[in-house]
Amino acid sequence: MRNASRSFGDWLSEWRATFLAASDRAPSTKALYGGLLERHARPQLENVPLARITPADLTRVRAPDPVGPGQDGSRRRSR
């Protein structure tokens, strides 16, 4: 890691502009990856230094509560 105080948001911006842009993935895959990170990870981790991100932080981003506030989950669709 080049800079332990670097924020996740700064890293994500660079990752999208360099690594993801240069990837040989299909454009739709690149859009999906970038969109998922922007929608789910950036809002929760944007200002967190990379060195301070824990496995628990990543679990919260990866598996948000599927039931919204005040809901019991009975209307949730299963796939």
Q: Which residue(s) pair with 7 in the sheet? A: 49
The reply to whether 52 falls in a domain is: yes
Share of the chain above pLDDT 90, in %: 66
The reply to whether 15 falls in a domain is: no
The reply to whether 77 falls in a domain is: no
The half-sphere exposure of 39 on its side-chain side, counting CA atoms within 13 A, is: 8
Q: Which of 18, 16, 47 is nearest to 33 (CA)?
A: 16
Q: Please give the backbone phi and psi of residue 59, each rounded to the nearest 5 degrees, phi first.
A: -65, -40
Give the number of domains in the chain. 1
Q: Between 78 and 24, name the one with better pLDDT.
A: 24
Q: What pLDDT, on the 0 to 100 scale, is given for residue 60?
A: 87
The reply to whether 71 falls in a domain is: no
Q: Between 51 and 71, name the one with better pLDDT.
A: 51
Structure tokens at 14: 């660079």
The reply to whether 6 falls in a domain is: no
Q: Between 54 and 73, name the one with better pLDDT.
A: 54
Q: Residue 23 pLDDT > 90, yes or no? A: yes
The reply to whether 76 falls in a domain is: no
| pLDDT average, residue stretch 30-47 | 94
Q: What is the pTM of this model?
A: 0.71
